[in-house]
Amino acid sequence: MAKTMLEMMNITKTFPGVKALDNVNLVVKEGEIHALVGENGAGKSTLMNVLSGIYPYGSYDGDIIYNGEVCRFKNIKDSELLGIVIIHQELALVPYLTIAENMFLGNERGKKYAIDWDETYKKADELLHTVGLQESSHTQIKDIAVGKQQLVEIAKALGKNVKLLILDEPTASLNEKDSRNLLELLLELKKNGLTSIMISHKLNEISYIADKITILRDGCTIETLVKGEDNINEDRIVKGMVGREISDRYPKRESKIGEVTMEACNWTVYHPLYSERKVCDNVNFNVRKGEVVGISGLMGSGRTELAMSIFGKSYGAKISGELFINGQKVSLNSVKQAINAKLAYVTEDRKGDGLILSSPIYKNNSLARMEKISNHSIIDKDKELLVAKEYKEKLNTKCPSVLQNVENLSGGNQQKVLLSKWMFADPDIMILDEPTRGIDVGAKYEIYCIINRLVAEGKSVVIISSELTEILGMSDRIFVMHEGRMIAEFDGHEASQEVIMSCIMRENNKMENENAKN
């Protein structure tokens, strides 16, 4: 019988106007992988911030008992000294430092005033080998992919002699292959005695990896499911999370598809820094009125680069090809021109590129078309507030007021504000890049319903997603990209995960054979 490593007892945490945690209890046994699930705003990250000392003792009620001792962490350093290390969804790595420098930042090897660089790089290489990352520790972070950066974060935690590892949405930005590799690594670390708490919205991953699953809803503990004792399936987890059954993850719609609204022909884009590298290579695709078109492909296939280059050439260099909107050839050389052409791009990075987190909801809502709430270039604040309230109701955004700063919203509600911003711009064509990344199953369903409403109104929607099930569940047609090229097109009803992945693998093998000949 494994001993209890962690008990969080009657944890209550209140923010102004909101009780984020209400007498939450969590018990974690030594050597297990314990999953924490719940809708956005359920309190998962808040609970882990309490545990790791980000919210210090005194700012919450309740007790933390770790290895039999009551803990009163004043900051994150206190928890790390006991081997509790948290890896946040937004990775805390410095792009222009090397892997080794990042791994030991704040935990330097050597004497007080002198870093032992030989020891630093030697230890970093050992830890990289442990996590299965075949990169030199001298490589700068900016030069490795997101999946590898996630492994660097785990190696960094191992360098702190971690005993309890907390991972907040570790696979949210990863493709399926990198996600599976990360899960297998966690299982391997478990064999070596590491205890983990994992927050994730990907229920298939949770079901695969977790020994126990604790469900939170509205800041309260609902239940803890134990593998081998309870009947664990995704439907039961979802019901616990949202308080009701969701019989169909993808709401049905009747498609009424019309004429082509946007078409890209021989669209070619070069990397903005590496001028000889094509990121989009003679791409051809189109979308029709009232249609949802999905673009699938592995990470780095060029999907986002394609979308951003079309949207006012906001990415890329030496862009060539033709773009048609409603049959007319257009040249969109700026974001403003793209917006005026009734085109919208909802970025995959809502926090970095999509929203101003430190500003209130109502200001974010009108950012894309401020002239609509202005008179002679002077903003009509009453009108701006009225519009924001209208979209709050229309999209069912959960917030006390549109005066609330966006940074205080859950991920799902931030995504709704981002959608509101672009819906307010009144586009005819919307490109949605990873529209449900990092949000829970209930919020996903609401986003899907919004998409269905948009196409029912005659809008054209392009969805870019790393989740194949999402592409398959929502798309009328599916295009597949690989290495900057559009390699296949499928009717939504005839496509499957196996068909799409085999198509990508075939193309990958073909390119490898061509490279071998050269």
Tens of pLDDT along the chain (518 residues) come to 689 999 999 999 998 767 889 999 999 999 999 999 987 778 898 999 999 999 999 999 999 999 999 999 999 999 999 999 998 877 788 989 999 999 999 888 888 778 899 999 999 999 998 888 888 999 999 888 777 888 898 888 888 889 999 998 888 767 677 788 889 989 999 998 999 999 988 888 888 999 999 999 888 999 999 998 988 888 888 888 877 666 678 888 888 899 999 999 999 999 988 888 899 999 999 999 999 999 998 777 899 999 999 999 999 999 999 999 999 999 999 999 999 999 999 998 888 889 999 999 999 999 999 999 998 889 999 999 999 999 999 888 888 899 999 988 877 889 999 999 999 999 999 999 999 887 777 778 889 999 999 999 999 999 999 888 899 999 999 999 988 999 999 998 888 888 888 888 788 777 767 766 66
What is the dihedral angle through the alpha carbons of 363, 367, 372, 375, rounded to the nearest 10 degrees?
Answer: 70
Sign of CA dihedral 359, 361, 362, 368: positive
Rounded-to-integer distance, Cα 285 and Cα 309, Å: 14
Contacts of residue 104, defined as CB under 8 A and 6 or more positions apart, other chains included, come to 120, 123, 124, 156, 159
Domain with CATH 3.40.50.300 in the chain: 4-242, 251-342+427-518
Asked if 105 and 97 count as a contact pair (C-beta separation under 8 A), the reply is yes
- In sign, the C-alpha dihedral spanning 327, 331, 336, 338 is positive
Q: What CA–CA distances, in Å, run from 433 to 262, 294, 359? A: 17, 10, 23
Instruction: Tell me which residue has tokens 């586009």.
Output: 427
Domain at 251-342+427-518, CATH class:
alpha beta
What is the distance, to the nearest Å, from the Cα of residue 449 to the centroid of all Cα atoms in its chain? 20
Supply the DSSP symbol for 407: G
Stated as kind and residue range, the H or E segment containing 81 is: helix 76-81
Q: What is the pTM of this model?
A: 0.69
Q: Which fold has domain 4-242?
A: Rossmann fold (3.40.50)
